[in-house]
Amino acid sequence: MTGAGERGLEPVRPAALGVLLALCVAAFLCPVRARAAGFLSGPLVQYIDAQELEDHADITVQFACTVFYVGSAPASRGDHTRITLRLGADCGTQFGALPPELPLVGGGGKLVTGARLDATIPGEVMLELTWSRTLDFVMAPSASGSGLRVRLLYPKPRKGTGLLAEPQTPAGYSVNLDSSRSAIARETVEAAATALQAQAYVSETDLEGEHWYRLRVGPFATRAEAQRVLAIAQPNYPRAWIAEGDEQADIAVVDRAGVTAPAAAAPTDPPLPDEQRAKMLKDARQALDQRRFPEAVDLLTRLLRQPEYPARADAQELLGLVRERAGQLAQAKAEYEEYLRRYPNGAAAARVRSRLQALISASLQPSSGTTFQAAAPERWTMAGSASVSYQYGKDQTVSLGNTTTNNTLSSALVYGDLLLRDRGERYDFTARIDAGYAQNFVSTFNLGNQDQTTAAYLEVTDKTFGLTGRFGRQTLASQGIVGLFDGAFVGLQLNPKWSVSAAAGLPVYTGFTTGTGQQKFGTVTAEFDPFHQTWVFDVYAFDQINAGLTERRSIGLQTRYSESGRTAVILVDYDIAFQQLNSATLIGNAKVGESWVLGFDADHRRSPLLELSNSLIGLNSPDVAALQAQYQLTPQQLRQLALDRTAISDTLVLSASRSLGERWQFMADLGALELSGTPASPAVQATGFPGVPAMPSTGLDKNASVQFSGSSLIQASDLHIFSLRFDDSPLARSMTYSWDARFVVYGAWRLGPRFSVEQLNDPTLGGKQIVYLPQVRSDWTGGRQVFELIAGYQLQNQIAVQQPLTPTGQVQSAGVDQRSLYVNLAYRIRF
């Protein structure tokens, strides 16, 4: 988390720190209201937590039930991602008409700017996460199947590079005259400037994995001036359009009318033997790892004076990184720009553009001195947000002339998060609390009013030894679990490549509950990062007990690979107590050729996660201890019962996407999902055990979807998504058509209409159905404030088969109309 995005505090802030300490301790020690039965009828997204670290950010998403990751678009780079999820059997059929959700993002960070959940078809949802700027990312489901983790790569400079402020919304308008995948000639730039009597320039940007050159004029202070120039330009530039405040997405200006060409190449030294140059580069890397910046700069400068040779590009990139870590941000920017000028298609070009973009987005001026010292940050900083939201839902059923109406949802949520940090020369201290209160005005699902605490912890970091300790309610984004727990975490950075950590405490399954004391866990993890987040390996050992019995004991491996145009994630979790494979996941995508991005997702897992508590499925016992005592079950019988009640799911998804010019994007995917059945557990008359019936398999569910998205079709910066989805399972078949758009209304106001139609044939629900879902979404986004509104109306026409109504036994079909109205309002402010 960057300090520049936080507000500096006066010396009086220790008093505020004391208040926050008290809040943290109270939230951790005091019991909160337990989750009511049937909570799955509430929000699907339990919480979203963002933790910003030195060179990446981890985002944890926890759901109320099992979800299956289907795919995401964009897959690995962009300013947002839309994640498609299939809901598990424990989510319940009520999620077929799931209303939209506006989940809050905790952590006081500035990278994750929004989250929204929408239902697509019954049994499937789409979670959209947006970032403050274009970033590389990788994602994977959790071992438990009820969580999702996303890692944002290189969101800010590494340790020692100074502070970057929150990116400000760029101001002004430009007219985009033309776009090309190849460089635009300087004569073309000068001709545009002369013809339009305006400043013309060429900039570069990346769109869905492709590199584009843009010929532009501007910037202009007002839209009216930009429209005037657009009208003059369109006869000669028919594809011209107005770009509003998107210059931050352009990596760097590569040419400008009236500006001299880059200077001639610098003089070179006599060539050195390849072995000596390789040793100098190795020594420079070691000097960087040990923070001997002057020595690294000297070695790399000598290498860059060599005649062109294969490893010169590596030395050019490394010099930029050394300058960046040393706090010489202006010099780092110059070195990165030189890399892109000399090696625009180099192996590290995408990574260099990402680093350069972060430097361009910085609002703090770097030191121009010659000493290797970063600017000193504020000692005390504070960041946070507050929000209030309201949800309303009403259902109406019309059948055989009878109308039934009931309010299904009416609730308000007040939520706030606060992060207070003290940065010292050796020690960093952090205190954080994220908490809220939900007031439910209807009792359809007996939810009642609920307190929610998703974070309440204290953290101390010793920068000399690379040691971090944290105590309180927190999340883990690795180490075998994704979820909340009350306890302690300790991490140690052994060197730039190796780190180890451990955690222990009481698992907390939602923000509305606290640890019971019956379940306790401990876990240790080792992480190996040999290539600075390009390829990372994690191994862990996890042990959890429940009432003195082994709940889960597993070992796991996770490896993440992320390079320009390629990402891959492998997750494996094996339970050594049950001697069963818990989960194995492979997710990857790669750029093929100039335009295509292909994706692959294969997932095999126990559903739900294999734990001793699964023995409770289908029985009325409140916990494992009561089940064991009631029916005199041995630990082995409990394990067998849990194993019998746990199904196996297999998921396979193949996806492809490509850009169709600068304005259009094509995406398609093919998927298959199957959930196995579970055997019966026979009754035992002697102990009174009632037995549990077998559950059949769902069979193979096949689906396919096609999506076209276009921008600036009707007005500048608008967005349109047209999609078609087909789903075929042994139980039902459906076809869904949808249109989703986003328009600029005025200033910071945006309007997003959406309309979808689904044709469904499901005998279990009465046969053929048609579902109409119109929806409107509107938001206003200021510098630190956001107001959001989502309203929708679902109309479901169902042909239901009734009981025989005549003496001949002839059945009679009757239409059933089901209507649902929902409204979501939210206001948020950051400080």
Structure tokens at 211: 């590199």
Rounded CA-CA distance 340/350 in Å is 9
Q: Tell whether the model's pLDDT for residue 553 goes beyond 90.
A: yes
- The pLDDT tens digits of the residues spanning 169-187 come to 334 577 888 887 777 877 7
- Burial of 370 (C-beta count, 10 Å sphere; 0-12/13-18/19+): exposed
Helix (H/G/I), strand (E/B), else coil: 673: strand
Report residue 145 CA to chain centroid gap: 16
Higher pLDDT, 6 or 589: 589
pLDDT range class, residue 543, cuts 50, 70, 90: very high
* Of 137-151, 312-326, 552-566, 815-829, the least confident: 137-151
Rounded CA-CA distance 737/772 in Å is 10
Q: Which helix (H) or strand (E) holds 333?
A: helix 329-342
Q: Tell whether the model's pLDDT for residue 229 goes beyond 70.
A: yes
pLDDT range class, residue 448, cuts 50, 70, 90: low
**Do 355 and 791 form a contact (C-beta atoms < 8 A)?**
no
pLDDT of residue 807: 52
Q: Which helix (H) or strand (E) holds 314?
A: helix 312-325
pLDDT range class, residue 407, cuts 50, 70, 90: confident
Q: How many C-beta atoms lie closer than 10 Å to residue 181's C-beta?
A: 12
- The pLDDT tens digits of the residues spanning 452-473 come to 888 899 999 998 788 999 999 9
pLDDT of residue 388: 93
Rounded CA-CA distance 2/57 in Å is 11
What type of residue sits at position 663?
Answer: R
- Phi, psi at 256, each rounded to 5°: -150, 135
Report residue 473 CA to chain centroid gap: 21
**Do 144 and 126 form a contact (C-beta atoms < 8 A)?**
no
Rounded CA-CA distance 385/784 in Å is 9
pLDDT of residue 162: 28
**Which stretch, 374-388, 483-497, 632-646, has highest mean pLDDT?**
632-646
- The pLDDT tens digits of the residues spanning 617-649 come to 999 888 899 999 999 999 999 999 999 999 999
What type of residue sits at position 543?
Answer: D
**Do 647 and 607 form a contact (C-beta atoms < 8 A)?**
yes
Rounded CA-CA distance 566/75 in Å is 10
